[in-house]
Amino acid sequence: MWKPGYPHILRNMTITYKINVPISTDQFIELLRASTLGERRPLEDRTCKEGMVTQGNLMVTAWHDAVLVGVARSVTGFHYACYLSELAVHQAYQRREIGKQLQALTQPQPGPQCKLILLAAPAANAYYEQIGFTPNPRCWVLEREQRIRG
């Protein structure tokens, strides 16, 4: 496994991308933990993570040999909208366009009129605009502990 201070380990690596290849809950949790996305997901809730792995209907993964180093997990009806709910790249593999490639492989999987939608972490806003996403101020979030008001 990669250790800080040894970036030469990653030179000349080959990344393999796979579409809808099952991954384990443990692999998913470990990747989230090794990426910045782990800071914003309840890693201690294994049942939640297991549901995320098994219930998404579009998953593009990036592998360095047998190690999962990136994932784009989406939920879609394959015709109008594809919600990319998790985009995670292991910190040791970031800035190598793996996240960009995961998105590029996700985009054509749904139908030709299907748009890709995601919620960005504040620090990632500039990244998504740089690769071609358009900001949309119309997103609304209802947190789990909130209720619909009558």
pLDDT tens digits for range 62-91: 999 999 999 999 999 999 999 999 999 999
Helix (H) or strand (E) segment spanning residue 100 = helix 98-106
pLDDT tens digits for range 94-103: 999 999 999 9
Q: Please tell me the pTM assigned to this model.
A: 0.85
> Is there a contact between 59 and 20 (Cβ–Cβ < 8 Å)?
yes
Sequence-ordered strand ranges (E) for the chain: 15-19, 58-64, 67-76, 81-89, 115-117
C-alpha count within 13 angstroms, C-beta hemisphere, residue 36? 10
Q: Options 3.10.110.10, 3.40.50.2300, 3.40.630.30, 2.40.30.10; which CATH number does 7-118 get? A: 3.40.630.30
What tokens does 85 get? 């709910």
